[in-house]
């Protein structure tokens, strides 16, 4: 076997082990993205003069990882993502005894300003949900928007909700989020009434306990697509005077922000959103602070 093939096979074996381990907790899309980054690293480190070289070799630690980031880092956002991949990989190698230190600790992360999610105000949410419904399926569409805003659901989650995942009496719904992770989230009585009206008067097929029965369907009784949900929200947004770029994630971001504004703790919001990391949820605290600052600047006589 050629030397380069031997070296490449050795590093690829470590990458494959890492990706298999990662697949137990991450979505297929995340695993593919990590794999693409690490294959770039493998190609860069292929050296026919050093056939057995791996990340355990000192010459492949800080200097070559830095070289990889210089060649493939691109923008600060891309560099940050690839650095995150490297750190996850080297932490894995350290965990399984292949490294005695983490070479990525010396690599500098790019400084980048986090882009805050767009949200609508509570007043705008009321205008959106309480308007005369546009479209030919008003009860279904209102129930969709109520559930997404009340429970913080993604578009992919709301179109996948099953009939037996709903507990209208207690305001509970079980959904399957990213990485096939299931969670239970809550919704209020207003949302429950909207769903009940839809089920009673507009759903094409009657309620059934079968697990494969989808809650929200089209005129043919088939499950909706995420694109349909996006179009529904856009239509309702424009009708209520909101920007046409208002999206399913706008409602999800608004759900989280309004909970924090109302006094909910960060851990509760994290659980309801299904975030794996609390750091992901913390972005909403920045939104709440920005909203508070804006209120103070407008209302307080000494703010300017």
Kindly list the catalytic residues: 154, 178, 249, 252, 275, 284
Helix or strand run (H / E) with residue 184:
strand 182-186
Q: Which residue has the tokens 């380069």?
A: 4
Tokens of 209: 């306990």
Q: Which residue has the tokens 């767009």?
A: 118
**CA–CA dist 247, 260 (Å, integer):** 20
* Contact present, 12 and 42 (Cβ < 8 Å): yes
Q: Which one-letter DSSP state was computed for residue 101? A: S
Q: Which residue has the tokens 């989230």?
A: 185
Cα 267 from chain centre: 16
- Nearest by Cα to 36 from 89, 75, 77: 89
The SS3 assignment for 2 reads coil
CA atoms within 13 A on the CB side of 44: 19
* Contact present, 119 and 257 (Cβ < 8 Å): yes
Tokens of 184: 């239970």
Residues 6 or more apart whose CB falls under 8 angstroms from that of 250 comprise 117, 118, 119, 120, 233
Residues 6 or more apart whose CB falls under 8 angstroms from that of 222 comprise 214
């Amino acid at each position: 076997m050629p030397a380069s093939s031997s070296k490449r096979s050795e590093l690829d074996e470590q990458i494959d082990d890492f990706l298999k381990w990662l697949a137990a907790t991450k979505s297929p899309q995340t695993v593919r993205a990590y794999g693409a980054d690490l294959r770039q690293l493998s190609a860069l480190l292929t050296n026919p003069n050093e056939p057995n070289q791996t990340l355990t070799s000192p010459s492949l630690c800080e200097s070559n990882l830095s070289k990889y980031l210089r060649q493939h880092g691109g923008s600060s956002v891309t560099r940050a993502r690839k650095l995150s991949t490297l750190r996850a990989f080297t932490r894995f190698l350290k965990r399984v005894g292949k490294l005695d230190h983490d070479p990525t600790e010396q690599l500098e992360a790019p400084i980048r300003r986090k882009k805050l999610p767009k949200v609508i105000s509570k007043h705008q949410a009321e205008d959106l949900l309480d308007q005369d419904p546009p479209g030919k399926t008003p009860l279904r569409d209102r129930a969709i928007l109520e559930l997404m805003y009340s429970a913080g659901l993604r578009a992919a989650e709301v179109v996948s909700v099953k009939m037996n995942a709903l507990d209208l009496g207690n305001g509970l719904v079980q959904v399957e989020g990213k990485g096939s992770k299931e969670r239970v989230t809550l919704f209020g009585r207003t949302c429950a009434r909207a769903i009940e009206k839809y089920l009673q008067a507009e759903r094409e097929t009657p309620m059934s306990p079968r697990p494969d029965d989808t809650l929200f369907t089209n005129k043919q009784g088939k499950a909706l697509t995420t694109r349909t949900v996006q179009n529904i929200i856009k239509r309702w947004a424009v009708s209520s005077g909101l920007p046409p770029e208002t999206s399913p994630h706008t409602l999800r971001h608004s759900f989280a922000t309004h909970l924090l504004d109302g006094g909910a703790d960060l851990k509760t919001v994290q659980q309801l959103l299904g975030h794996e990391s609390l750091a992901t949820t913390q972005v909403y605290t920045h939104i709440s602070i920005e909203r508070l600052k804006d209120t103070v600047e407008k209302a307080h006589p000494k703010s300017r």
